[in-house]
Structure 1
């Protein structure tokens, strides 16, 4: 079967840069899926995109579907013939197959014999099927917002201007969005506006690059990265390349050209984060740092033209950025005229959640919880309370209203300007850490207390009004809050009990509709998040389940157990001891009453049970102090020595002896063995 390259390109007005990647990938996936459903073999599927085009190139695409044998089943044989003559059912089935009755076959099944027909069906040509596949793929694109243009009734994200569909050197006769497919594409809007006739689908990338268009997204991004780094080297500076900004800028240009501009040094009196946010959000500029990490009065812009007079382009960008930075300087100066404390009353007018009150209410609740936590972790209770009172005040400043991403950061600057204690100012920024699972946690004690209090208040409050996350819906980011609490407690090595903290957080709310059982529900939810934490740490699910089976409510202790059991699971004794514990669990579960773990040494009869008893007692003396100090790895290492006496016991001793007293004693021996391991985890679950 012959194969060739397919090219599909949709030419459009400039697309929203944030939507380009999603649309490009969706188009490629839609066509690939359509080909798969049509049973057409295809090789590599490549997605290309620029602001003015979405394209898909598919290598080694088969020119037709494979031939296949089609089998149809008609009436049951008993209903197909009567007195040796075909019935109407048989004749009707034969007509539907286009043959005579005597050309039908008998199909034997487990439900009887049926009349049937089998034929070879020729595969359809790929070029015949492509129009429907492509049209369906385009129609299913996740367009953020449709529009119409001119008198057309066609709708798409932006006006469409051309459609290319080539299979090898052949134009596929097709249409979509009111366009007829052809072989004509367009180059750069300014450098190469003339139509380009593509001779072959394989010519696409080279033809466009010759017309000042880099259609390969990855290549265009790397070109931008290389140019930015080269410009920075000329300026003896370090360029900061934000990956999200790189993607966005790549979605704004077809032929990137990096240029360096400057701004007045007086703007460096403004916090650098403000200037950077303004440059990134408003102008899509990359900023530069000196060797000490300080912001330089320079920026790198990515132009979409290779200008004969680049200085004019640079000056134009400098003129545009000047008022933007002036706005940032104005916001900063204006905000500093009032202290954060003076802004606290304004929080009463900002709703946190309708049923949970305002940000002022949240600040009041956070203050009580943060002060308690600070007292438990050797922090400053007064600083923690003060930080909680000021934590949300920067949300009503001009700077944060303009640049929401600066919340916390501006709180730190303004608190320092107001003369607040250094740790209070630091905590205002740290309250949002960690932002994601692998992010850093707060470094100050006050920051730790505030970050925990804020998340615990949100978790208790939102659960308390019945807004538990479900499926993909998590508008208050409770999953992230729960994992944040876990990370803070574990990475910060804070030996705090989640149940106690949640009870305190819930008690700060005056009225919660779902207060009954609230703490248990939130606690279960948070501990369940440890599964994701364990996975990120490379810890197996069976290890998580073994630890989760125990009533552990201190995340730091939970993490220590996870790591210890993970290490134990790698030992050669682990499998045998896990199997033995599983066997013990099954035996004990069948008993009508709880089994006493006290063993009567005088009733031990067999050498193997005496040996196991002595081993358990010796082990207990060694491991109980280790359990008390949470040294679980060493304790499990000691328990691993029980493998041999446990194996011998099960090989040589009948647990369910006829003598009830002997039976109870042996069950007590096993219960004692199980209890030792359960001090850490239910290792019987490691068998899963």
Structure 2
């Protein structure tokens, strides 16, 4: 079997572009292999800042093509169609001929059995693979026509130790790679993949991404142990750092202790996001210390690397401190007026308008969840005030978080301060939800305001686009309600939010927006349940006829029903329902009158009819108990308890009695039973 090595050597490519390029090019190779029937190809794909490496082994030497007859367009079709047929199948125009078929006269061609060297096909296709690469960002350099993530310097391509020479814009592929020399990159002739790996390893170039991750993680842990410190490995940052270095070296830097007075999130963001450093914590109190870890690309014998990194971080933290000192004392209440100058959305008013709407809705929610209305209104009024600060302008990722610190500095209660930061939560599916009542009120209000506003002006998400993160808002509402065990009517909150928009003279263009929002939330609710491994038929059984918009109660019911349905009670309930429903379905075809589930006791002729009727009434009486006082297990137990009565009914009572009145009455009894079951869940949706 044969192997292929392709290396694209360039100036340093950013981590995200490396991942894109590896994925894009490898997909092209995979498609090529599948198209040609290469089934056992083994791939190794790596990247460093300067190298994209693709190695494929277990390749055949030749591509075998069997002889076959190809049918083309109809005779008389446009010449363009004929030429397309010839070109797409690599045919010689002399090979095509005409032949009659039962569908008319067509152009045909017969190909010959042949073997094509794989090396020739690869040589022909690689330039197309590279040219089709979709970069998020690309550049041109010099007077070259090539656009690439960063300037591409050389291409190495070997097939079974043989150089594949092809042209790609101004470059020609060779058997040469480059390693760092004293002054410039040094060219090295490569014999094969083993030789390639040895050359890079000897030059301390760890080209395997997984190996670099192990090396960096191991060195960081060793370093922390020696220094009696700890840190949380940020996986996103680690992935970036892995792709920033070829020869990873872990170094420790420091900064002035005075900077530790800044908000912790501000320090972390500056180090992680802006500088790609790992902040360090004390093992004693787990607080940040004035040290950080940086992963360099070479040994720092003279300490120049770490000193340079310390200078850059000091400059950034000095700027952050300047803005912090300036903004922390600026009265948040007075800052609210500045929100009038910031547009929330062109048809939905300013951010000031939005905070006023949030305030009204938060006050209503505060009544529902039993928290202080005044505090909820204050928190809602100032929840966006930090957006006008210089510090949030410099660090937009910390909106809300910095507002919390400003509020604490200005003497607001911690609950109000927390509401400013927490009202954006949850941001991602794994993010925490607000737990304090004031935070819950403001967070729900903000998200409902988003949905009502954008649905109201018909700016709704599509299957492929959600520019205003409305799916996130809907899922956030659901998670806040469910995880905090809050039963509340969303319809009422939506209508209240609508009234605030109308009070501000916002033009609600979509008359069905409230209904559409509830459907939208319901769809997110179904997805949330499916993610938690709830059976789809259980979900549909509860939601199909439900008019409830109390999603916490629905969640509890569905989750518990999902457990019980697998038990003996669950199986008995489904069996009873389906047996009765099948009888009704068959009998309805002959019955000329509609059923209402209203049997007449005086027409009962057997004890089994009376016993079943009494059992049904027992269940209906159970339904009158407030939902919070009855469990799914209790209800399913009662429903399952009908099985014995139903079995005796069918054993001793003839449903299709000769007397039409009695027959209809017995069907009414069965219909009442099914209606009673349906009041709890639509058991026709269940799959046995």
TM-score by length of 2: 0.89
Match of 1:523 among 518, 525, 529: 518
Distance between the aligned counterparts of 2:642 and 2:122, measured in 1? Answer: 68
Distance between the aligned counterparts of 2:337 and 2:588, measured in 1? Answer: 60
Secondary structure, aligned partner of 1:55: strand
Distance between the aligned counterparts of 2:93 and 2:315, measured in 1? Answer: 81
In the TM superposition, what are the counterparts of 1:334-345 in structure 2 within 5 Å? Answer: 334-345=326-337
Residue matched to 1:428: 420
Change (3 A) 1:385 1:171: same
Greater Cα shift, 447-456 or 415-424 = 415-424
Residue matched to 2:58: 60
In the TM superposition, what are the counterparts of 1:404-553 in structure 2 within 5 Å? Answer: 404-510=396-502, 511-549=506-544, 550-553=546-549
Root mean square deviation, CA, Å: 3.1
Assess if the C-alpha contact under 8 Å between 2:329 and 2:410 holds in 1: no
1:554 paired with 2:559, answer no
1:568 paired with 2:560, answer no
In the TM superposition, what are the counterparts of 1:590-605 in structure 2 within 5 Å? Answer: 595-605=595-605
Secondary structure, aligned partner of 2:686: helix
1:353-374, CA deviations, whole angstroms, 9 ceiling, x for partnerless residues?
A: 1000111000000000011101
Change (3 A) 1:29 1:188: farther
Distance between the aligned counterparts of 2:672 and 2:193, measured in 1? Answer: 74
Residue matched to 1:88: none
Residue matched to 1:181: 173
Distance between the aligned counterparts of 2:92 and 2:60, measured in 1? Answer: 34
Residue matched to 1:638: 638
**Pairwise CA distance, 1:625:** 3.1
Secondary structure, aligned partner of 2:126: helix
Assess if the C-alpha contact under 8 Å between 2:96 and 2:108 holds in 1: no
Distance between the aligned counterparts of 1:383 and 1:169, measured in 2? Answer: 74
Assess if the C-alpha contact under 8 Å between 2:36 and 2:63 holds in 1: yes
Distance between the aligned counterparts of 1:209 and 1:580, measured in 2? Answer: 72
Residue matched to 2:15: 17
Distance between the aligned counterparts of 1:463 and 1:326, measured in 2? Answer: 44
Secondary structure, aligned partner of 2:625: helix
1:592-651, CA deviations, whole angstroms, 9 ceiling, x for partnerless residues?
A: 876322322332346765554344334444565374635223212331233454456567
Distance between the aligned counterparts of 1:674 and 1:308, measured in 2? Answer: 82
Distance between the aligned counterparts of 2:71 and 2:338, measured in 1? Answer: 76
Change (3 A) 1:33 1:575: farther
Change (3 A) 1:404 1:654: farther
Residue matched to 1:299: 292
Greater Cα shift, 567-576 or 267-276 = 567-576
Change (3 A) 1:640 1:347: same
1:277 paired with 2:269, answer yes
**Pairwise CA distance, 1:250:** 1.9
- Alignment gaps of 5+ in structure 2: 75-90
Match of 1:130 among 122, 127, 131: 122
Residue matched to 1:583: 582
Distance between the aligned counterparts of 1:471 and 1:420, measured in 2? Answer: 43
- Alignment gaps of 5+ in structure 1: 77-92
**Pairwise CA distance, 1:59:** 2.3
Distance between the aligned counterparts of 1:334 and 1:423, measured in 2? Answer: 24
Distance between the aligned counterparts of 2:48 and 2:250, measured in 1? Answer: 17
1:152 paired with 2:151, answer no
How many residues in Structure 1 have an aligned counterpart in Structure 2? 663
Distance between the aligned counterparts of 1:584 and 1:509, measured in 2? Answer: 53
**Pairwise CA distance, 1:672:** 2.0
**Pairwise CA distance, 1:42:** 4.2
Distance between the aligned counterparts of 1:193 and 1:124, measured in 2? Answer: 37
**Pairwise CA distance, 1:289:** 1.1
Distance between the aligned counterparts of 1:95 and 1:394, measured in 2? Answer: 72
Residue matched to 1:385: 377
Distance between the aligned counterparts of 1:131 and 1:653, measured in 2? Answer: 82
Assess if the C-alpha contact under 8 Å between 1:379 and 1:446 holds in 2: yes
**Pairwise CA distance, 1:167:** 1.9
**Pairwise CA distance, 1:664:** 3.1
Distance between the aligned counterparts of 1:638 and 1:414, measured in 2? Answer: 57
Distance between the aligned counterparts of 1:417 and 1:373, measured in 2? Answer: 27
1:300-345, CA deviations, whole angstroms, 9 ceiling, x for partnerless residues?
A: 1111112333x23222211221111111111110002312112101
Assess if the C-alpha contact under 8 Å between 2:71 and 2:109 holds in 1: yes
Assess if the C-alpha contact under 8 Å between 2:230 and 2:281 holds in 1: yes
Change (3 A) 1:66 1:420: same
Distance between the aligned counterparts of 2:153 and 2:228, measured in 1? Answer: 44
In the TM superposition, what are the counterparts of 1:41-60 in structure 2 within 5 Å? Answer: 41-60=39-58
Residue matched to 1:369: 361
**Pairwise CA distance, 1:208:** 1.9
Distance between the aligned counterparts of 1:429 and 1:678, measured in 2? Answer: 44
Assess if the C-alpha contact under 8 Å between 1:268 and 1:297 holds in 2: yes
Greater Cα shift, 637-646 or 491-500 = 637-646
